[in-house]
């Protein structure tokens, strides 16, 4: 269990790598500054030519063509300034340094452009793979499912990302329409993997498990098996750091006029009924999937709420309600839902998207997943 609760491998590596990358970008300019200080001091007898020649090559490693050109221009400016200050014009060494600087700068600029082109090609491939993965993991919910109509929306917090740790799905079964909305702790590929495990278990179990609690337990067991398999397959034994838990809400809409919900540590859905907005709070709070050892009583229970024709159910992840504005205030989802209640499903979701981005000033701190369900007459 300790392996489930700790942070994923390299959780602190991201910040350290970012610092190292910034230092690497600053290195060419720092070298030019050091050369300038040496040449304008009594230590100017030290031969600094090779240091300046190396600056464009160093810039090409971490920066694009613009940064490489800037480093080359700075090196040229320092060379001219130091040659003038030290009255070195006319010497063969000065012109040799200028020629070497020109050749290295030209080669570095071409290398930087080639690297940028290759990187753009690789990024395009990654985006296409992400789009394919999204179609498998986060496919839009069907517009018509038995006694309901539905629509979904997903917004990634990270620019350019297609999928993250949020998950959702809706499936029509012999027991009724079954839906899931969840949020994986953490980010990155481990979060995507955990989302895939939970969704796979849900899509399998909804068709043969009559009890909704059993469906949820099946998802939790699949998550624990995957964590154990990953832990056993990595070096370090109990010191392996893995993604741990998933908040999830599973709902069932049968032919009867109600909705049944099992909530495992997830934000409660909102029921829009008779002009009001009501959060469907669980009778007994339960921990997320993956933390079953903290359940002291029965493994879980299904709560039932009225869900009549004309009612609307809004399932969501915490990225919606935890979005903050410039004053650090949370987004009021209930108020937004009340304002948008008379719109069609797609118009409702578009209005919610605009209100959310306007509140967060276009910068979401977490992924957002929303499923909207209307009960038919």
Query: In this predicted structure, what is the pLDDT of residue 134?
Result: 64
Residues in the chain: 377
Please report the DSSP string for 136-196 in residue order: HHSPPPPSEETTEEEEEEEE-SSTT----SEEEEEEEETTEEEEEEEEESS-HHHHHHHHH
What does the alpha-carbon distance between residue 219 and residue 318 come to, in Å, rounded to a whole number? 20
Element (H, E) at 121: helix 92-137
What does the alpha-carbon distance between residue 310 and residue 329 come to, in Å, rounded to a whole number? 32
Can you read off the two tokens belonging to residue 182? 């969840």
User: Domain-by-domain residue ranges, the chain?
Assistant: 2-130, 140-205+245-375
What does the alpha-carbon distance between residue 189 and residue 207 come to, in Å, rounded to a whole number? 28
To which residue do tokens 């700075």 refer? 74
The mean pLDDT of 233-244, rounded to a whole number, is: 46
Query: In this predicted structure, what is the pLDDT of residue 219?
Result: 93
List pLDDT tens digits, range 55-81: 877 777 777 788 788 878 887 887 787
Could you tell me which residue, 49 or 323, shows the higher pLDDT?
Answer: 323
The answer as to CATH 3.40.1160.10 being correct for domain 140-205+245-375 is: no
Query: In this predicted structure, what is the pLDDT of residue 132?
Result: 66
Indicate whether 290 pLDDT > 70.
yes
CA-nearest of 300, 200, 195 to 245 is 195
Could you tell me which residue, 355 or 17, shows the higher pLDDT?
Answer: 355
What does the alpha-carbon distance between residue 350 and residue 158 come to, in Å, rounded to a whole number? 19
pTM for the whole thing? 0.68
Query: In this predicted structure, what is the pLDDT of residue 227?
Result: 80
Can you read off the two tokens belonging to residue 348? 């409702």
Where does 1-91 have alpha helices with state H?
2-5, 13-39, 49-62, 65-85
Indicate whether 51 pLDDT > 90.
no
CA-nearest of 263, 146, 268, 282 to 213 is 263
Mean pLDDT of the chain: 81
Query: In this predicted structure, what is the pLDDT of residue 43?
Result: 65
What does the alpha-carbon distance between residue 242 and residue 277 come to, in Å, rounded to a whole number? 38
User: How many Cα atoms within 13 Å fall on the side-chain side of residue 197?
Assistant: 28
Could you tell me which residue, 2 or 335, shows the higher pLDDT?
Answer: 335
Instruction: Give the lowest-confidence range in 10-14, 272-276, 308-312.
Output: 10-14
Confidence band, pLDDT 50/70/90 cuts, at residue 239: very low
What does the alpha-carbon distance between residue 80 and residue 89 come to, in Å, rounded to a whole number? 9
List pLDDT tens digits, range 89-99: 666 677 777 78
What does the alpha-carbon distance between residue 244 and residue 292 come to, in Å, rounded to a whole number? 11
Can you read off the two tokens belonging to residue 282? 């669980």
Query: In this predicted structure, what is the pLDDT of residue 266?
Result: 95
Burial (CB count <10 Å: 0-12, 13-18, 19+), residue 116: middle
For residue 361, give every residue at least 6 positions away whose Cβ sits within 8 Å of its Cβ, in sequence order, or none: 325, 326
Can you read off the two tokens belonging to residue 212? 């909704």
Indicate whether 169 pLDDT > 60.
yes
Residue 16 DSSP SS3: helix
Please report the DSSP string for 77-90 in residue order: HHHHHHHHHTT-TT
């Amino acid at each position: 269990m300790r392996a489930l609760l700790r942070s994923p491998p390299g959780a602190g590596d991201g910040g350290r790598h970012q610092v190292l990358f910034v230092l690497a970008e600053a290195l060419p300019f720092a070298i030019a500054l050091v050369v300038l200080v040496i040449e304008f001091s009594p230590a100017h007898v030290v031969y600094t030519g090779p240091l300046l020649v190396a600056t464009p090559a160093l810039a090409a490693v971490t920066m694009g063509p613009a940064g490489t050109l800037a480093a080359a221009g700075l090196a040229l400016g320092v060379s001219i300034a130091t040659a003038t200050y030290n009255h070195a014009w006319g010497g063969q060494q000065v012109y040799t340094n200028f020629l070497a600087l020109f050749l290295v700068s030209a080669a570095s600029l071409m290398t930087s452009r080639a690297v940028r082109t290759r990187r753009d090609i690789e990024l395009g491939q990654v985006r296409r793979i992400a789009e394919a993965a999204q179609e498998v993991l986060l496919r839009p919910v069907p517009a018509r499912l038995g006694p309901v109509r539905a629509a979904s929306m997903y917004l990634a917090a990270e620019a350019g990302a297609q999928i993250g740790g949020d998950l959702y799905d809706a499936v029509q079964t012999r027991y009724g329409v079954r839906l899931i909305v969840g949020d994986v702790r953490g980010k990155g590929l481990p979060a995507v993997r955990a989302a895939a495990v939970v969704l796979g278990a849900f899509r399998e179990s909804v068709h043969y498990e009559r009890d909704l609690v059993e469906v949820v337990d099946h998802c939790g067991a699949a998550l624990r098996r995957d964590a154990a398999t990953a832990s056993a397959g990595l070096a370090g034994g109990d010191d392996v750091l893995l993604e741990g838990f998933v908040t999830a809400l599973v709902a069932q809409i049968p032919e009867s006029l109600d909705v049944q919900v099992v909530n495992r540590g997830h934000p409660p859905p909102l029921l829009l009924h008779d002009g009001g907005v009501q959060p469907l709070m669980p009778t007994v709070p339960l921990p997320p999937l993956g933390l079953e050892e903290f359940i002291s009583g029965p493994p879980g229970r299904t709560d039932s709420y009225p869900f009549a024709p004309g009612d609307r159910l809004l399932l969501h992840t915490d990225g919606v309600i935890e979005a903050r504005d410039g004053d650090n205030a949370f987004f009021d989802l209930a108020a937004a839902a009340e304002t948008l209640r008379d719109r069609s499903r797609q118009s409702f979701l578009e209005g919610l998207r605009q209100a959310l981005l306007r509140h967060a000033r276009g910068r979401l701190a977490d992924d957002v997943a929303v499923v909207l369900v209307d009960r038919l007459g």
